[in-house]
């Protein structure tokens, strides 16, 4: 339960009315509204700077792993990847492997751009003094520069997911590839929507600030509701199937 103006929300599903449509595809913490709330919610400039730097360092780790994975696939010596590189060289547009290779190359460049932006933002933001963090990070260029690594990260991650999905269609028959991709996409969208809902809850309740949202007595009376049963049930089925195959 949380309060937003005069409305009282009693279930996690009700939070979805506060989501923009794009937030079913991109978590709210990768959008500009999140950066604006961060810049104005943190009263201590040092904490604001430390939060952004921590995010950049986490992005660097994720992007480094993704870059190594994409490069290994592109230059792997297996039959499929060798055929993919040959399709790229011969410009075989009617072969799916050509488009897989093209998306992988684009993904590598996007990951490199993301690493560059994160590394640069990390160095520049960490150089701002505690007393001047607010005035710099609340400016137009400060907001855009703080948001740019997140925008590039989203582009890199989606390109990464696209070429993985294309490989599924290349290696599996359509009767399996289509339902498999639909199921994986549903889980992905569920993850994004859940954390967008949580982010919106934090934004609309002012939970980034130092002031408590509710008093202690009201906090003790709060009772959380169970999350929708379908996704946890489905995930447990997958775990059971995987365990059966391994056995």
pLDDT per position as a tens digit, 202-226: 888 877 777 777 777 776 766 655 5
Question: Token digits for 38?
Answer: 């961060």
Q: What is the 3-state secondary structure (H, E, C) of 36-98?
A: HHHHHHCCCHHHHHHHHHHHHHHHHHHHHHHHHHHHHHHCCCCHHHHHHHHHHHHCCCCCHHH
pLDDT at position 239: 59
Buried b (16+ CB within 10 A) or exposed e, 174-184: eeebeeebeee
Report the range of poorest mean pLDDT among 8-17, 45-54, 103-112, 211-220: 8-17
Residue 50 has pLDDT above 60, yes or no: yes
How many angstroms separate the Cα of 136 from the Cα of each of 29, 148, 179, 225?
20, 15, 48, 41
Whole-angstrom distance, CA of residue 227 vs CA of residue 195? 13
pLDDT at position 235: 55
Residue 173 or 16, more confident: 173
- The reply to whether the predicted model has a pTM over 0.85 is no
- pLDDT 10s digits, 122-144: 889 888 888 888 888 888 898 88
- List the one residue out of 90, 119, 116 whose CA is nearest residue 102: 90
Percentage with pLDDT > 70 across the chain: 81
Residue 148 or 219, more confident: 148
- pLDDT 10s digits, 76-104: 888 999 999 999 999 989 999 999 999 99
């Amino acid at each position: 339960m949380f309060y937003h103006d005069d409305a009282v929300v009693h279930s996690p599903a009700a939070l979805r009315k506060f989501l923009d449509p794009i937030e079913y595809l991109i978590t709210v913490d990768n959008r500009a509204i999140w950066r604006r709330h961060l810049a104005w919610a943190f009263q201590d400039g040092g904490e604001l700077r430390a939060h952004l730097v921590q995010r950049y360092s986490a992005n660097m780790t994720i992007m480094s792993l993704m870059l190594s994975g994409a490069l290994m696939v592109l230059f792997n010596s297996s039959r499929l990847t060798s055929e993919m590189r040959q399709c790229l060289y011969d410009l075989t547009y009617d072969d799916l492997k050509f488009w897989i290779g093209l998306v992988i190359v684009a993904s590598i460049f996007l990951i490199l751009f993301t690493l560059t932006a994160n590394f640069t933002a990390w160095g520049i933001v960490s150089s701002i003094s505690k007393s001047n963090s607010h005035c710099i990070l609340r400016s137009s260029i400060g907001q855009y520069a703080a948001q740019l690594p997140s925008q590039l990260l989203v582009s890199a991650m989606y390109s990464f997911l696209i070429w993985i999905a294309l490989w599924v269609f290349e290696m599996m028959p359509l009767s399996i590839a289509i339902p498999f991709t639909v199921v994986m996409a549903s889980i992905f969208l569920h993850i994004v929507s859940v954390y967008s809902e949580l982010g919106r809850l934090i934004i609309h309740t002012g939970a980034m600030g130092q002031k408590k949202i509710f008093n202690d007595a009201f906090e003790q009376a709060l009772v959380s509701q169970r999350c929708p049963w379908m996704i946890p049930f489905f995930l447990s089925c997958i775990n059971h199937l995987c365990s059966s195959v391994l056995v």
